[in-house]
């Protein structure tokens, strides 16, 4: 009687164990589930990337909006727009009598430095060591789609910039208009047609009244093209950082059509960005627009010129 009971119990236990084993996942079922998860991940990943890009693009636009407001406040306080600095890597030591408080025309450092008091960075504007300035991070001077706004070890601790002012050519057959014959000194009898002109070349004060094409039709600052392979290493056109003088680090040429960062064939003078469809730019009225890479070189150069009489329709840019 006891033996039968044990046998019965054993039978029941064995049967229960068999049923439990049958409820487990087979290898085929596991592969199917894994495949489904992989498919869902493949479908969701682009959506996540789009959301992330939308967030970084909005942050980039906000940076440019603050820069634009700073430029307009500078104009209100000084009666003119900031200048683009003297020449590549220019410093106060190179030009006796200049310093942090030099007027825009005589200031060797570019517009990034000149607008500091108007973007809540007055303490940096009072610094007297140019190299220390170049190693100071200004959060709004970098696009979050690219790299952290921080000292760059590959460039001796200088903080690299992602935004540059626009300077145009008189025509698409005028490639020397950017330097006008002088890289390491200032040219004589030169004239620049952007909102932010080169410093120390002529006693010109660019004012809002001189933007005859209209403040809302004239580009001032935009994202610059950078070879995506050199975000951290820097390149000849991206090595001095935001504290440079007149140099492709902080000034770019609207004679050349903008290109995306993934294009490694740029000359170093183009505008562009890490965003997929176009780059962001702030105009002389403080408005921010996305300009598509498909814009023609002719139209793009008109945008950079403050007074060529060619007004570009911004719809669709």
**Could you read off the pLDDT of 51-92 as tens digits, one per residue?**
576 678 899 999 999 999 999 999 999 999 999 999 999 999
d(CA 204, CA 65): 26
pLDDT tens, residue by residue, 173-229: 888 899 999 999 999 889 999 999 999 997 789 999 999 999 999 999 999 999 999
Confidence (pLDDT) at 273: 96
Rounded CA separation 164/17 (Å): 72
Nearest-5° Cα angle at 173, 167 to 178: 30
Q: How many helices (H) and strands (E) does the chain have?
A: 6, 7
Q: Are 157 and 151 in contact (CB under 8 A)?
A: yes
Q: Using one digit for the tens of pLDDT, what is the confidence trace for 137-154?
A: 999 999 999 998 999 999
CB burial readout 135-168, b (16+ within 10 A) else e? bbebebbbbbbbeebebbeebeebbbbbbbbbbb
* 93 pLDDT above the threshold of 60: yes
Q: CA–CA distance from 161 to each of 9, 58, 147, 197 (Å)? A: 78, 18, 10, 19
What is the residue extent of each domain of the chain? 56-304
Residue scoring higher pLDDT (121 or 26): 121
Nearest to 291 by CA among 119, 60, 103: 60
Average pLDDT of every residue of the chain? 88
């Amino acid at each position: 009687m006891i033996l039968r009971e044990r046998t019965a119990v054993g039978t029941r236990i064995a049967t229960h164990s068999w049923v439990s084993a049958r409820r487990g996942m087979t290898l085929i079922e596991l592969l199917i589930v894994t495949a489904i998860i992989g498919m869902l991940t493949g479908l969701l990943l682009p959506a996540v990337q789009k959301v992330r890009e939308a967030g970084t693009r909005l942050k980039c636009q906000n940076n440019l909006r603050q820069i634009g407001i700073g430029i307009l406040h500078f104009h209100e306080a000084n009666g003119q727009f900031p200048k683009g600095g003297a020449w590549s890597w220019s410093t106060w030591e190179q030009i006796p009598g200049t310093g942090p408080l030099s007027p825009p025309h005589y200031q060797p450092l570019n517009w990034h430095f000149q607008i500091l008091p108007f973007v809540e960075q007055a303490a940096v504007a009072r610094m007297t060591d140019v190299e220390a300035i170049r190693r100071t991070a200004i959060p709004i001077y970098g696009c979050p789609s690219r790299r952290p706004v921080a000292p760059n070890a590959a460039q001796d601790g200088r903080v690299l910039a992602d935004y540059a002012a626009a300077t145009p050519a008189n025509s698409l057959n005028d490639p020397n208009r950017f330097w006008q014959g002088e890289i390491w000194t200032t040219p004589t009898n030169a004239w620049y047609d952007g909102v932010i002109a080169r410093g120390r070349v002529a006693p010109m004060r660019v004012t809002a009244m001189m933007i005859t094409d209209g403040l809302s039709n004239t580009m001032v600052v935009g994202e610059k093209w950078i070879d995506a392979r050199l975000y951290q290493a820097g390149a000849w056109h991206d090595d001095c950082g935001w504290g440079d003088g007149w140099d492709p680090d902080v000034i770019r040429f609207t004679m050349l059509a903008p290109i995306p960062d993934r294009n490694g064939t740029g000359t170093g003078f183009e505008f562009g960005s890490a965003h997929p469809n176009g780059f962001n730019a702030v105009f002389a009225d403080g408005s921010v627009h996305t300009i598509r890479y498909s814009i023609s070189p002719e139209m793009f150069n008109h945008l950079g010129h403050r007074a060529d009489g060619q007004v570009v329709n911004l719809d669709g840019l």
